[in-house]
Amino acid sequence: MTAEPVTTSQPSTAAQAPPTVRASLSPSRAADFKTCPLLYRFRSIDRLPERTTIEQARGTLVHAVLERLFDLPATDRTPEAAGDLVAPQWDRMVTEQPELAAIFDGAEPAGPVEFLRSAAGLLQGYFAVEDPTRLEPAERESLISAVVDEELLIRGYLDRLDVAPDGALRVVDYKTGGAPREAFEARALFQLKFYALVLWRTRGVVPRVLRLLYLRDAEVLDYTPDADELVRFERTVVALWRAIEQATARQDFRPRPSRLCDWCSHQALCPSFGGTPPPFPVAAANADPLRDSRSTPVAPGADE
């Protein structure tokens, strides 16, 4: 990767008192609220359980394999080596989260076999768009965070961060779904702009490229942000959080039906489908209902 880094002066924080962080927001939960405020409530306030789907588990598995692939020497990062990592990484995931074994309940006998085969197929899509023998990522599955508006912590996991010799940054995100449709592309770019804002605020560098790799269809989508755009995006994130605060204070999270409803786990509780949400939960005395519901952001691949 070669590109001139885009930098802007950032106020020094060395002499400033640390900010008082009273809330946090991940790109996944922010996107939930943008997509459907009621979905945000179900996930972040009611904290309703959601069973992991086969698609989500496959996404997490592929992300894990691609992370481990770069542990190998460059010359060993071959399609065959990636394929050899699939079964061991799945075994590790099931050992750490035994409930994952239940995703095949009711599936045909070939379910687990087909699952691993399909994950290996997605890895073939990766090799069709990138040559990992020519890459040395600076960071993989890295948790990054920054404080905006003095009290809101924004954070998330980068799939991969590449740093060029001249300091230019490229944020890479793996997508195991199909080629982008409008709704999913907008959500994916929102996520990457979120990461770009964090990197800019913490490192003083606007990423040169935000890259989406769609493995199923072997497609690449590149986007180039600029500082002015990230200033506007920061205002959007803060305004979004203010809207979440207001909705929480009013206990008013309304559904917003869309094509994405087809993938929602909570239709039985949604008024748009004839359901009734549970009573609004009363926060425990030592809990902040405005905090992101997860102690860490969602696992890479799990939201796909």
Q: What is the pLDDT of residues 101-139, one digit of tens each?
A: 999 887 665 689 999 999 999 999 999 999 999 999 999
Q: What is the pLDDT of residue 42?
A: 96
Domain ranges of the chain: 20-47+137-274, 54-133
Q: What local confidence, expressed as pLDDT, does residue 79 receive?
A: 98
E strand or H helix that includes residue 222: strand 219-223
HSE-CB of 270 using CA atoms within 13 angstroms: 21
Average pLDDT of the chain? 86
Task: Say what the pLDDT of residue 108 is.
Answer: 60
Look at 15 and 273; give whichever has higher pLDDT.
273
> Measured between alpha carbons, how far is 237 from 25 in angstroms, rounded to an integer?
9
**What average pLDDT does the segment 62-75 reach?**
98
Of 9-13, 133-137, 267-271, the least confident: 9-13
**CA-CA distance, 176 to 77, in Å (whole number)?**
19
Please compute, for residue 125, the number of CA atoms within 13 A of its CA located in the half-sphere on the CB side: 23
Least confident of 69-83, 119-133, 167-181, 193-207: 167-181
Is-contact 159 172, C-beta < 8 A? yes
Residue 1: half-sphere exposure toward Cβ, Cα within 13 Å: 27
pLDDT at 188: 81
Give me the pLDDT at residue 294, please: 41
Cβ–Cβ < 8 Å for 122, 215: yes
User: Per-residue pLDDT for 199 more than 60?
Assistant: yes
Answer yes or no: is pLDDT of 284 > 50.
Answer: no
CA–CA separation, 246 vs 176, rounded Å? 35
214-254 tens-digit pLDDT: 999 999 999 999 999 999 999 999 999 999 999 999 999 99
Q: Are 200 and 38 in contact (CB under 8 A)?
A: no
The model carries a pTM of: 0.84
Q: Is the pLDDT of residue 303 over 80?
A: no
Assigned architecture for domain 20-47+137-274: Alpha-Beta Complex (3.90)
- pLDDT one-digit tens code per residue, 32-62: 999 999 999 999 999 999 989 999 999 999 9
Q: Map residue 189 onto helix, strand or coil.
A: helix
Q: What is the pLDDT of residue 179?
A: 61
Distance CA 90, CA 115 (A): 10
Cβ atoms within 10 Å, residue 275: 13
Higher pLDDT, 29 or 7: 29
Q: Which amino acid is at 202?
A: T
Query: Cα 223 from chain centroid?
Result: 17
**297 pLDDT tier (thresholds 50, 70, 90):** very low
> Percentage of the chain with pLDDT > 90?
74
Can you tell me the distance from the alpha carbon of 8 to that of 69, in angstroms, rounded to the nearest whole number?
35
The confidence score (pLDDT) of residue 90 equals: 98
Give the Cα separation of 25 and 117 in Å (integer).
35
